[in-house]
Chain A
């Protein structure tokens, strides 16, 4: 009886453990994952190369930690200072620009703080603080959270009061909460566009240069992590900056809106309509 159970367990175990060796692990951000970009982009790469890409989508901060521990082969995130530090400290190699979109300030349609009248992100945030309107902060050291803190610093305000709520969760959770309590929050455009539970929320402020949100790809340093599948990871990195992939990124839309602008070779992409706020035909 016990022997039967054991054999059965081992069989099931074995059937799960066996898996293709031709895969790489990509540590990335929820913003790219939630937008559906990977579901669209990765099958193209896998089709061309036979390499499966397994995406672990977390906040930028955590993604960087995963890559630093060697638990991923390649990193695709959106916080330039952290990315540069990652390479400088020797954890990663060959950083490349891939694409960008922008951050947007989201809030209730009624906009009690009058954020939509502002054009600068820092002024928008200052209005929220002045009116002590509810603001939901990711509080999870993600790329968006880091950018949010930088924007508060620009506005000269240190947000620390009842109206400022750090929830320690992902973008979706922050938007869900903002929708249910009529609060403001900072989101990346991709997540906002693909978010399905907008409720009374609306996009109130965008277009400020300070809201520019570039994504970069970095290979995990094989000198530090010899097990890293650098060859396959580099093929992915090479591919994502190739014309094929860059065009595909530019062509990716959701609800008829372009979500990301390719910028691996900014000079060559002049025909792509960016910033991404404009509808495409």
Chain B
């Protein structure tokens, strides 16, 4: 109980360093979510709409990638970005950019799969109607993504939540450098390893609050979207 009390106190007295850590966490994970979504949403929608070669293989691969542990993603990105690796000359290992790349890879399959799941039933509803018009593939894609936007955003937030909560990938490729690549989860890991359990818990509470906020948002968006759905 005293640990909880101390933790609450630490959260309330949020100092500049803590705010910086939370801010970096949000920035890295948000950017990663946006970048992953840029590719995953159109591809996920395409997988739901069209039959094309290797489609099944793509679906199986992307679904399997969802089970990939963050440390493995981190390790792969680490090996790619290391000076000894193929992308080493960019020198972005141990930077927020590396963390964004790792998290983008981590989130991509989630947003892809959830977008596909969101578009599948909508496409079943819409297919005949859209077929009856001279509609370009791009227009079809945009229409389905737009009308499934509430479900798609839900997937996006799920990806964001995963990015925000993971520690395995960012600690490897970011290096947990104080004031530069230190985010909430790596700080929690660090403070736990220092035996500073109350500070670790305080950060955990911040993380939990953000998670609750995200889930409330998912719930709210979902209820908003249901209004437009056919219930018959």
Contacts and interface: CB of A to CB of B under 8 A. Distances in A.
Given A9-B38, A12-B27, A69-B84, A57 B176 contact: yes
B195 A198 contact: yes
B195 A175 contact: yes
Interface in B117-141: none
B193 A56 contact: no
A16 B176 contact: no
Contacts of A8: 34
Interface stretch (A148-156, A165-173, A243-251, A256-264): A165-173
Nearest to A8: B34
A82 interface: no
B63 interface: no
Contacts of A196: 194-197
A71 B37 contact: no
B56 interface: no
Interface residues of A, number: 42
A17 B35 contact: no
Interface in B135-194: 142, 146, 175-178, 180-181, 190, 192-194
Interface stretch (B8-16, B94-102, B210-218, B222-230): B94-102
A122 to B, nearest CB: 28
A73 B37 CA distance: 35
B84 A227 contact: no
9 contacts: A5-B37, A9-B35, A13-B97, A16-B27, A55-B177, A69-B82, A69-B85, A172-B193, A196-B194
Interface of B: 27-28, 30-31, 34-35, 37-38, 42, 82-85, 88-89, 91, 93-97, 100, 142, 146, 175-178, 180-181, 190, 192-197
Given A5-B34, A39-B178, A227-B89, 5 more contacts: A2-B38, A25-B94, A71-B83, A197-B197, A225-B83
